[in-house]
Every structure is written in C-alpha cells, then in structure tokens.
Structure 1
Amino acid sequence: MMTDQNAEINPNAIAQVKVLALLGAVLLVGSNSFVLSPILSEVAAGLSTQTYHVAWAISAFGAATALSALTLAGMIDRMSVGRVLGGAALLLAVAQVSSGLSQHWIWLCLSQALAGVAVGVLLPGSYATVTATAPKGREAARLGVVLTGWALSLVVAVPAAAFITEHLGWRMVYFLMAGLSVLVAGILVILLSDVRGGMTTRTSPLRASQLPGVWQLLAVMLVYMSAFYGSFAFFGDGVRTAFGLTAQGSGMFVMAYGLGFGIMGFVLGVVSPKITRGYLCLVLIAIAASYASWGLTLQSQITALAGTAIWGMLNQLGLNAMVVSLNRQAAEARGAVMGLNSAVTYSAVFAGPMIMGPIYAGFGFAAVAGLGSVLVMCGVIVSWRSA
C-alpha cells in the first residue's frame, strides 16, 4: 500500500501540488504520443525518407510502451515513487533529445522505442499513485484532474508542435519537450520522494491479472480502447470527407474533443462521483450511444462539433471509472495492474485501427463508429456479468 509520510503537514495543499505534478507527467506522455502524427511529412523530409518510415516510430513507441508496462511498471509498488517516476521522466527526456538529433528514420524509431520504455513506467505509475494516495471516495476527483493532461496535450501540445515546426523546425519540438521532461522529472522527485509502495516483492503480470475482477476489467478496457483508437484513427479524415475541410479545419474537431475531455476532468474534480458497477455500466452505455449516433451527428458541422465535445466528455468519464475500478481491485499491486492496463491500452492502439481500417474503406466513418458502439456494449455485458 502506498504511503504518504508528510500528509499531516497542510495535507490539502500538499496533495493538490502532487496531483498537478502527476498531471504534468501525463501531459508529457500525451505530448510524446500525439506530436509526431501532424508533423510526419516535415520529419520525413528532414530525414530524407518516406512518411511511412517515420510512422513506424509511432509503432515502435507503442510496442515498447506495452512491453515496458508489462515488465517494469511493478517497480512503483516497491520503490520510492518520486525516484521511479522522476527517473522515467528523465529517461523520456533522453529519448526526446535523441529523437531531435536523429539523422535516419531507424535512429528515430529506436529513440521512440526508448521513449516507450519510459512511458511504460511513467503512465501506469502516475495512475497508480494518484488513486492510491487519494482520500477514500475522492479517487475519481483526483484522477479526473490528472487525466486532463491528455486533453492539454491535444489542445496545447499538438497545435504548438505544428507552430514550432513551421517556424523553428521539427527538431526543436523534441528539444523543447525534453526540457519540459527534465523539469517535470525534478518536480516529481522533490514532491513524491516521501510516497512509497508498500510491497517488498515483485508482483508478476500473471499474478496481477488473477486478482479478483482484474482480468474482466482488463477485457472491458481492451474493447473500450479498441473502439476509441479504431474510431479516432479515422475521425479526422471522416469529418474532412463529410464537410470538405482542410487539415486545419479538422483540427477544430480534435480541439473540441480535447476541450470536452478536459472540461469533464475538472467537473469530476468537483463532483467526485462514487464509482460503482452501475455507474460504470451507465457511462459505457452512454459512450456506446455516442458512437451509434455518428450517422446523424455528421449531418452538419455544428452537430458534429457538439457530438465531438460530448464524446470527449464521456470518454473522460469512462476512462476515469475504468482506472478507479482497476485500482480498487489491485489491492497492493497497483503498479503491476496499471502496467497491465497500459499494455492492454497500447495493444488497442494496434488492434483498433487494424480492425476498423477495412470497414472505413468500404463503408465510411459512421460504420466505424457503429462497430465502436458494438464493442463498447460488449464491455457493458462483461462488466455487468463480472460484478
């Protein structure tokens, strides 16, 4: 069990600062995850290669993240949280500097694989820490604030990366992210040095998956994330095709999603709902309905923007409820279970687009979203029956 040794000293102020530090960690992860996609052509030109070679760096990042999360995330259960997360953020900075110095696409792929090793510890460790150290009943509120790091990376980091690339070059994007990673690493080490995992032995991924209710929730997470990543992969092109938009125009929809996700994160920080089986199922049903409605939502840009923002809000609720539920079942193996969660999530990064690709090619985005609805409803059934 994670313990906070200085909780007696102005606990509310200390807790809020630590939550913001963990938000910064998630912001780092989201920024590294999202910035390469919109600047693919510029990076490819800089490395004198094809865009698909550069895109392989994203795959290398995802695969390394999944492997790292399976094998290394359990460190958070046994060691100083500040050192583990700070060390992971520092390793991410090294990977980002290496990415910025890349002279060949293979170099970039290896650099992003190293970034994945860091993220495989940093992301599940952040999730485990915020829920383990939150007061009972406030887990969803604290996690909602930390998850807003994903929204900030979409709303701030991605447009900033495009701007910096245009004026200073794509390499500067990675150098600036590396500077941010070093800053966050120092903050994590200082603020979380007193938070420690309570386990003395390593919990294996297999053992963690056998904890009561864990594998069922991981199965729900797999279909939930496959629906999201499969749909989001074709979302930008889907709205561009529907409304004849430019790349900049489709960026408004990505921003609407990020704003919806972020706004709901702050709402959760105030409301702090009680996460129950019924709550989780209702949220998943609402998300399934959101997917199913895209055939109607794409009738106009206004309804599509509103639907996108609502999609972001609902996904904040869904991800929040899933992570809180997993941590509740994890007992003293939160790091290991969150590692499994990250491995499942990054597996969905591959599975979702692979499944949805042929459907999008043949039937369009509304059909992709329809399958997403079916997948999420499968998650509802598993969630309800497993309780």
Structure 2
Amino acid sequence: MSQVAPHHLTTEQKQQSRIDPRIFLLTLGTFALGTDAFVVAGVLPMIAKETGVTEGLAGQLVTVFSLTYGLGAPLLAAIIGRWPRNRVLIAALGLFGLANLGSALAPSYLLLLISRILVGCFAAVYTPLAYTTATALAPAEKRGQALSLVVVGITVATAIGSPLGTWVGEHYGWRFSFVLITVLAGIAFLALLLCGLPKERVQSVLPLKARLAPIAHPVVALALLPALFWNLGAFLVYTYIAPLLQQNLHILDISGLLVAYGLGAVGGTLSGGRLADRFGAQRPIITLLIVLSIVEAILVFTTTSLLSTLVTLFIFGLLTSLIFIPQQHRLLSVAPEHANVILALNNSTFYLGIAAGAAIGGVALRTVAVTQLGWLGAAFMLLALLAFFLSIYYTRTARARGLSKSVDQEQASQEKEEVFILPE
C-alpha cells in the first residue's frame, strides 16, 4: 500500500507563509495617519475656543492638511522618485510624528496651521511608500493581503483612532490628541528604524508630467469630477460634525458617537468590492449619491436624539465608504492602460474634495448655522450626480468616436510601472 505523504511544511515554507512583522509596523503608521486626518473634526470646537478663532476658521486646519496631501502626493512622488525608499519612508514617518508634536505645542493658530501643512507633506510621502514597501516585503501570493493590511490601518482609524483621539481631547485637552498621534507614529518609526527595511531598486520613475497627463483628457477629467464633488459634500458636513452634534444634542462628549461613523466606514470599505462585483460601478454610484443627498438633507432632523444620531452616523459612514470601490472600478474601465496613474489621481481628488469641503463649510458658517450645513452638503451630492451623468454621456460618446482608445494608446507610451526588487 502506498503511504500518503505527510502534510508538513518545511521551515522555509512556514516562513514564506507568514506575514512579515514589519508590515504591521507600516499599518501602525497608516493608522496614525488616518487618526490624524479625522481627529481634528472631533476636537474642532476645543481648538477654536483655545486659539480664539471661529469654528469655521478652525476647520481650515483640515483644509490645509488635505490640500497639501492632495497636491503634494504626485509632486513629491516625482521629486523623491530616485531617493532610497527605505530611508525616505522611515524619515517621513519620523518627521510626521514630529510635525504632530509641533501641532500639540503650537502657541498660536498661525503656527498650528503651518504645522498641519508640514503634517500633510510628510503624510503624502509616507502613505504611497508604505503601500509599495508592504508589497515588496511579501511573497507574490501574499502581496494583496499585505497591501490590504496597510490600507486597513486608515480604515480602522476612522472607527477607533479618531474617536479615541477625540476622547483624549475631551478629557485632557485637544493638544493631547496630537500627542497621541505622535506616540503612535513614534512607536512605528523607532521599530522600523531598529528592524530596518530592504533596499529597493527602481527601474524607472514616472515623471510628474506623465502622472498628470491623463487629466488633460475630458474622459478622465470628467470621471474624476464627481468624486471631487461628493467628497466635498461629505466633508463639508463631517469636518464640522462636532459642533453640529453638540448643538443638536446639547452634549459635549461626542467621541462615542463618532465610533458609529467609523464602524459604518469600515463596513462600507469591506462591502464596496462585493457591491461593484455584483452590480458594476454605474448603478451603485447613482444610487449611493441619491441616498447620500437625502441623508445629508435630513441630517438636522435625524440627529436630535442619541439613537437616531447613532443610526444616522453609521449610515453616513457606510455610504461615503461604499462609493469608493465602485469609483475605482469605473476609473479602471475608463482608462485601463494607465491604471496606476488614474488611481493615484483619484486619491488626490479625494483629499482635494476634503480640503474644498472644509473650506466651503468654514465660509458658509459665516452666514448659516452649523445645523444647516447638511443642506449644502446635499446640494453638492446632487451636483456630483449631475457630473456623473455628464461623465457617463461623454465617455459613451468618446468610445463611439474611438477617442477613449486613443487616450490609452497615447499615455501608455509615457507610463511605466515601478518595479521593486528585494535583495536575495
């Protein structure tokens, strides 16, 4: 009788099947970054009160961070493309932590504003490098899992990091919210510094001109435009969610309520791919924009009790995250030949939408009550819907004329994917 070979893995196979511990350190870094991106909204009233500015002006701290990130990501990626990536990543994370310490110690609103610009710069450098480094640290069959771990750091930050930072701010002062982020980033920085990262050789670097070239084509520009408007509409409200809830509910502690938004965001992130796989991109985006406009329009009425507020925030977080993956699917169908570039542009569009939402919301607060921002956010959701219909129409027309194909052919000659090789 033949014996069945035992199903034992060799030591080498076991090592290859494990996730490199350094990937979890990269995830801690993105968790700190995600916490930083959302925590200002939770402690905004406290910042405004202590620095002696209006809540609308305090909201511009979100504007400058997001604007710097959105514009800085493609620019800085082109500038540092030839630099040693392992060193740049660790340095960016360390400087990110120091910049947050600067936010905690800032003696004036102006210096706080400058510190947020610096934080945005270092975050824009760290995040894409964390993604590429995670995939380089993993074997080929584990790269998707490694990338998901790093991405989930930002997602989990909305459910845990941001409410935790808000709670710390409510009990110890808003400056300690930034101290918390400094500690998180510092732990990841020191651990990566001690563990080290592999040197990577870049065969080619995409120049800035090639990174931005797709925007010149109406098909691509119109495909990105709806995302700008719906992120604007969402964060026009979320940036000022703390004063809105405090005024509607007559409470000061809102950290627990923000957990509901974060849990919804996590659920949306996990479900967005399945939604796009089952229904495609077009139907979910149209449906989600309509529902989001309704949710924001009635926000002033659905945040008058704790239970209804929890449900509303969960739905709001769920919807704003659900729409992200269908948008990526659509962008890949519009311009598949330069997928990396257009997805990077979509990420920049996301942060530019946050910046615009915080800025417009701050200006609006000069003339309207914070509880009325939901109506303005709903208007931008409908504008995003209109832009989406326009994008659908133009894309179909362009494909009929063969223009969409020419876009891919023209850009394919400029775009080269970066290849990372680990030392043996």
Could you say whether these structures have the same fold, taking a TM-score greater than 0.5 normalized by the shorter chain as the test? yes
Using the alignment, how far apart are the partners of 1:76 and 1:280 within structure 2?
Answer: 34
Q: What SS does the corresponding residue of 1:361 show, helix, strand or coil? A: coil
Q: How does 1:1-387 map to 2 (within 5 A)?
A: 13-14=18-19, 20-40=24-44, 42-43=46-47, 49-50=52-53, 55-74=59-78, 81-126=85-130, 146-165=150-169, 168-185=172-189, 193=198, 198-204=203-209, 205-209=211-215, 214-238=220-244, 244-248=249-253, 250-266=254-270, 273=274, 275=276, 279-294=280-295, 298=301, 301=305, 302-323=307-328, 329=335, 334=340, 337=342, 340-353=345-358, 355=360, 358=364, 361=368, 364-365=372-373, 367-382=375-390, 384-385=392-393, 386=395
* Rg comparison, structure with higher value: 2
C-alpha separation between the residues in 2 aligned to 1:42 and 1:358? 20
| Alpha-carbon distance in 1 for matches of 2:357, 2:130 | 25
User: More displaced, 283-292 or 293-302?
Assistant: 293-302
Structure 1 position 221, deviation (Å) = 2.1
SS across alignment from 2:123: helix
* Displacement after TM superposition at 1:374 (Å): 0.8
Distance 1:282 1:169, change over 3 A: same
Deviation by residue 1:206-226 (Cα, 9 ceiling, x = unmatched): 325358964343223212211
CA contact (8 A) 1:31 1:157 kept: yes
* Unmatched tracts of structure 2, length 5 or more: 1-11, 397-424
Could you tell me how far apart the structure 2 residues matched to 1:354 and 1:112 are?
15
Give the conservation status (yes or no) of the 8 Å contact 1:77–1:333: no
Q: What is the TM-score when the length of structure 1 is the normalising length?
A: 0.74
* 2:99 partner SS: helix
Classify 1:34/1:75 alpha carbon distance in 2 versus 1 (closer, same or farther; 3 Å): same
1:306-363, Cα deviation, whole Å (9 max, x unpaired): 34313322322222343466578576783x6555334423332343355566599389
- 1:381 Cα offset (Å): 2.0
Tell me, yes or no, if the aligned pair for 2:66 and 2:354 is still in contact at 8 Å: yes
RMSD between superposed Cα atoms in Å: 4.4
Distance 2:249 2:322 in 1: 31
Query: Conserved in 2, the CA contact under 8 Å of 1:291 and 1:373?
Result: yes
Quote the Cα distance in structure 2 between the aligned partners of 1:325 and 1:11.
35
Alpha-carbon spacing, 1:376–1:308, altered in 2? closer, same or farther (3 Å): farther
Who is 1:4 aligned against? none
Report how far residue 87 of structure 1 moved: 2.8
| SS of aligned partner of 1:247 | coil
Contact 2:164–2:255 (8 Å) recurs in 1: no
SS of 2:274's equivalent? coil
**Cα distance, 1:203–1:275 mapped onto 2, change above 3 Å:** farther
SS of corresponding position for 2:281: helix
Following superposition, the deviation at residue 72 of structure 1 comes to: 0.6
Q: Contact conserved, 1:151 with 1:261, CA < 8 A, in 2? A: yes
Q: Could you tell me the percent identity over the aligned residues?
A: 20
Q: Match of 1:90, as an amino acid?
A: G
Q: Distance in 2 between the 1:211 and 1:142 partners? A: 33
- Measure how far apart 1:117 and its partner are: 0.9
Query: CA distance change for structure 1 residues 83 and 282 in 2, over 3 Å: closer, same or farther?
Result: farther
CA positional deviation for 1:264: 3.7
